[in-house]
Amino acid sequence: MDAITVRPIIGSRDRNEFIRFLWTIYDKDPNWVPPLWMDRKKVMDKNKNPFYQHADAEFFLAECNGSVVGRIAAIVNHNHNKEHKDKVGFFGFFECINDQTAANALFDSAKEYLRGRGMNAMRGPVSPSVNDEYGLLVEGFGKPAVILMPYNPPYYLDLIEGYGLRKAKDLLSYILNQDKVYSEKLERVNNLVKERHSLTIRSLDMKHFDKEVQKLKVVYNQAWTENWGAVPMTEAEINALAADLKPIVVPDLLIFAEKDGRTIGFGLSLPDINIALKYNKKGRMIPGLMHMMLRKKEINLCRIIVLGVLPEYQYTGAAGVLFYETAVRAKGLGYYYGDAGWILEDNEKMIRAAKTLNGDPYKRYRLYEMPI
């Protein structure tokens, strides 16, 4: 291959090239779901995405003979480094042709950016935060991409490891199906736990959506404080996420666990709209909305995106109740499958909860890291 040049993107034309390159890599892949252009622009927009209020980022394009051959972003999340008292920088949005030279040039550019800002390690893929697409798919190829989860070709493992990046942590996704979830014993245990700890489970009240979001904020930034890599979301980030998800949220799939009138946990699941959006080949908004409306009945899977309980109430078994109650509601809504993920590979409590519902691990994602 001729010489590779890597440069930061400048202006809307470069941004569009950065997004358009996805189609170069995936256009013939039947399991890839084209993203909505509007969403891709928003996640990169340093003025509209509140993540960049506490983070710095540079987006790079790699070119050869006038053609784009790869892309990457280098990210410094100041809130992460404050929370974990380290100097870890991140790479994300990585896409590349199957060429180690091109990949090396991209990683070199990200590394130099991070090193120039005082970072001593590079971790990823993170695009751009733990609350967005997180990790690299390393097991479970040949299965469709699920809503808000990463998807990539198998050869990315070789490119990333070929550069010298090594495993930092794996994330697991479990697949549940309605034929295996239920049993009389599990129903009895679920009811016993609720009765013993005076737990009540209720669905989201859309009429008071803003007040409900306030309750989520309290739980979210406390329930995951001990998780590896977790970073509390800012007020602005949670508000932005709530606004983005409101059009697709299903009230019976966003459930609250309450004890003595206090919200102590919640579970958020979303219908896998990727099942409809895979037909939206160009990623345009209006056709995408039409596919979601016309193909709604084809969506037979929901993804359990977030499920957690305040630390002082984790002894109650409320997490298991939330898991089971989500499955019950999903069945009533016609979702045959559930994707429980991601779960940290060493989060024994959540893995045990997934296995209690006879979930099977079916996808694995990986975070890589190297000193810089």
Question: Does residue 49 belong to any structural domain of this protein?
Answer: yes
User: Dihedral of CA 270/368/361/344: which sign?
Assistant: negative
Question: Does residue 372 belong to any structural domain of this protein?
Answer: no
154 and 10 belong to one structural domain: yes
Give the end of a domain, one of 105, 137, 171: 171
100 and 245 belong to one structural domain: no
163 and 57 belong to one structural domain: yes
Question: Does residue 371 belong to any structural domain of this protein?
Answer: no
Please report the pLDDT score of residue 280 as a whole number: 92
157 and 180 belong to one structural domain: no
Please report the pLDDT score of residue 223 as a whole number: 85
Please report the pLDDT score of residue 286 as a whole number: 87
All residues at 6 or more sequence positions from 91 whose CB lies less than 8 Å from its CB, including other chains? 72, 73, 74, 75, 107, 110, 114, 122, 123, 124, 125, 126
Global pTM reads: 0.95
162 and 207 belong to one structural domain: no
42 and 23 belong to one structural domain: yes
Please report the pLDDT score of residue 187 as a whole number: 92
With vertex at residue 313, the alpha carbon angle to CA 307 and CA 319, rounded to the nearest 5 degrees, is 30
User: Dihedral of CA 61/62/64/69: which sign?
Assistant: negative
pLDDT tens-place values along the chain, 372 residues long: 689 999 999 999 999 999 999 999 999 999 999 999 999 999 999 999 999 999 999 999 999 999 999 999 999 999 999 999 999 999 999 999 999 999 999 999 999 999 999 999 999 999 999 999 999 999 999 998 999 999 999 999 999 999 999 999 999 999 999 999 888 888 999 999 999 999 999 999 999 999 999 999 989 888 887 789 999 999 999 999 999 999 999 999 999 999 999 999 999 999 999 999 999 999 888 888 898 888 999 999 999 999 999 999 999 999 999 999 999 999 999 999 999 999 999 999 889 989 999 999 999 999 999 999
66 and 126 belong to one structural domain: yes
190 and 263 belong to one structural domain: yes
Question: Does residue 70 belong to any structural domain of this protein?
Answer: yes
Please report the pLDDT score of residue 227 as a whole number: 85
- The CATH number linked to 241 is 3.40.630.30
Please report the pLDDT score of residue 1 as a whole number: 66
Question: Does residue 329 belong to any structural domain of this protein?
Answer: yes
Question: Does residue 74 belong to any structural domain of this protein?
Answer: yes
- Indicate the residue type of 212: E
147 and 221 belong to one structural domain: no
Question: Does residue 370 belong to any structural domain of this protein?
Answer: no
Question: Does residue 63 belong to any structural domain of this protein?
Answer: yes
| Three state DSSP letters for the chain | CCCCEEEECCHHHHHHHHHHHHHHHHCCCCCCCCCCHHHHHHHHCCCCCHHHHCEEEEEEEEEECCEEEEEEEEEEEHHHHHHHCCCEEEEEEEEECCCHHHHHHHHHHHHHHHHCCCCCEEEECEECCCCCEECEEEECCCCCCCCCCCCCCCCHHHHHHHHCCEEEEEEEEEEEEHHHHCCHHHHHHHHHHHHHCCEEEEECCHHHHHHHHHHHHHHHHHHCCCCCCCCCCCHHHHHHHHHHHCCCCCHHHEEEEEECCEEEEEEEEEECCHHHHCCCCCCCHHHHHHHHHHCHHHCCEEEEEEEEECHHHHHHCHHHHHHHHHHHHHHHCCCCEEEEEEEECCCHHHHHHHHHCCCEEEEEEEEEEEEC
101 and 143 belong to one structural domain: yes
Residue the block writes with tokens 């190297």 = 370
Please report the pLDDT score of residue 198 as a whole number: 95
Cα Rg, the chain, nearest whole Å: 21
Give the end of a domain, one of 126, 149, 171: 171
Give the end of a domain, one of 153, 171, 189: 171
132 and 179 belong to one structural domain: no
| Domain tally, the chain | 2
16 and 111 belong to one structural domain: yes
Q: For residue 89, what are the domain limits?
A: 5-171
